[in-house]
A and B are shown apart, each in its own frame.
Chain A
Amino acid sequence: MHFEVIVIGAGHAGVEAAYAASRMGCRVGLCSLSRATVAHMPCNPAVGGTAKGHLVREIDALGGLMGLAIDATGIQFKLLNRSRGPAVWSPRAQADKREYGRWVAAALEREANITWVPGRAGRLLTSAGRIAGLAMEDGDAHTATAIVVTTGTFLNGLIHIGPEQRPAGRHGEPPSRELAESIRSFGFEMGRLKTGTPPRLDRNSIDFARGVACGDFVKEDGDAVPAPFSYATTRLLRNRVSCWLLHTNDRVRDLVRGAIHQSPLFNGQIQGIGPRYCPSLEDKIMRFPDRERHQIYLEPEGIDVNEIYVNGFSMSLPREVQESLVHALPGLEDARMVRPGYAVEYDFVQSTELSSTLESHRVRGLFFAGQINGTSGYEEAAAQGIVAGINAGRLVRREPAFVLRRDEAYIGVLVDDLVTRGCLEPYRMFTSRAEHRLLLRIDNADLRLTPYGRELGLIGDDRWERFSARRDRFDRNVARLRRTHVRAGSGSRAAAEVLRQPGVRLCDLVDRGEVPLDIASDCRELDLASVETAIKYEGYLKQEASRVARASRQERKRIPAGFPFARVPGLSREAIQRLSQVRPETLGQASRIPGMTPAAVAVLGAFLGRLPADAPAEGAM
């Protein structure tokens, strides 16, 4: 068959890529082993968290799927960091993992432009350095202008459970070997990473009430008023489950220490590098001997799902050790382990092989997105998916690239970090990675990105109208706060000034009827948060904006494609090698390549200035 865009893999990256390209009007082939694992959650049954929640809001603001999907199928919602400042509020939700996959699959079914291509992808077909199509392992071949590879941990995946090793992409699914070979044949720099997952328990074998009564468990519930992920969600969300917090004890510690030689992580069986922010139980015990106990959360994987996810307990010890470790946890003496945790090693493509559109330097029309680029997390994968899908669509339609800057979106930070720095360990988003995070808040993701989504063709008319109304309300409300005077002490002052006082909240001013704001009933919290932040922290936000402006000349200075770094006199051989490999698109990117000295960047900048002026490629499009 002929497609414009083929997406290999239907995980969180793949579905966003396929959906975006389809919304842009491309004929999309979505190649997946099984429809049952669309948008699958092989690890924790949750979406969001610090910085990850920001990514989901941004995906949603651009017109992606993830926010809508989790709002539709979430079973417990929390806004993290509520007690801190507005720039680090971050939504997180437990998902009904089965419903989540079904919801996404159904959303894709509704897309007339998407055709399912069941089976195992084999070889990437090229012609004159460009993607020409995809050969399936069973012999079928499809032509395509662009291919987005989103194969997660499937490339030469190897699962470890104690001494037991077996090739697998995920639990119970065979890995991709031929595709791995095909990718490697183009000469991409590849590496090997490791990640892991905890054991799952039988929900019916745990007496939660007793655990709470005995003081072993602390019940954790969602927010009283859940905040949605998606700007389009208007219905009230409902918390349907609780989670339970418990702690490891000395017995767990002693058991791990006693069995440490059987851990593939510690006996040399695993070479791949794991994420530091998601340490295995073995790591926690061995590397932090001073910490008396570690937190464990029991999380239901769905309403009608019997499995309990043991968050914080990922390990690769032998099955029987895992079993005794579970039983060593307070309140879980009689719990039944449904399946053991495991570590998985997999190949990834070094992300410096990619440009900011996630298209590879080596093969035109070949995009990579998600865990194959060295990231971890559903949200990071989905964010790359939408970027790759959009740009595959733009390539097909011969439109200019779509790149978000670091001061525009966490998605911009994510992609920029990947393509300039590469990955030494699985990459996870943190708010501390975003140097302009004051500007990148969940309350303004729509203001930042929905106009782009509209221009790209991902935002429909209904959604656009709703957004436009919300933006108008925002502008009006900010103006009104500056204009309206309220009583303050003996005199009166502008409401905006009063709001800047410590401890003054906008909702109080509004509730007391002191400032008449235009607030939509189905959008109250968001309306208030955007306006309050814009006024209350105006000084900081202005300062941040001027920092962005100051750096922008250097930051946005374009480096033309194919720029001959070797011909810049005065650059060290290492600098030339790094630059030629990473192929930075701007001087800002060049400065972020590890090992680039300020002097080398200055030299490069000066030589760029001598080239004829190039396209005014400021802004995102």
Chain B
Amino acid sequence: MNSREEILGAIRRSLGRGELPADARAECAARLDRHDENLVPERARSLSPRERVELFVKMAEAVNATVARVKSAKDAPGAVADYLAGLNLPPAVVAAPDPALDDLDWSAKPLLEVRQGAVGDNDPAAAVTPCFAAVAETGTLMLLSGGTRPTRNNFLPDTHIVVLRRDQVVAAYEDGFARLRAAGPDMPRTVNFITGPSRTADIEQKIELGVHGPRRLHIVLIDDGAR
């Protein structure tokens, strides 16, 4: 007998039964198909869309993310350039070659060096990525991997800039999952929930930002809601 069968057999022996009866199996399968929500806290669910965006910003800032609000996508490249200049960071970005960023007109900022693709191994540029959704409850961004969205761009650079549109802000993780299921039948390889920049408290419980992932997480919030 192989280890798989031995382990499953040991589980059944401990539970004092053989294989789960057919009706119980059907019940479990139905539970997976329904994927019902459990209790979702009121904190974000009870809010209007406008208030949800405000809660998202408040929660994200509470964990050391920064947020710049712009009226429309045409203002986003300027917000990126201003952010980098304000911190004396190199005026260089690597933008994900994703259709969600197509309406960002980088030519408006000729002094900003813009490349498209994946960030290099020791790349000094900031990464600009889209996101799939943002969860107001805890100020959490939800990003998906894909052909135009390298996951490494979310983790390798010192500075991660995320472009978020107002209508992407949802109340709870469960709302993000619902949008994910609506987008297609298959899970992406990686779903990243990101709440603030990288941090550690491993040395004497003192919090330090940017230990392996980005030192800075900046969110450019496009407020017109359109996509």
Do A and B actually bind?
Answer: no
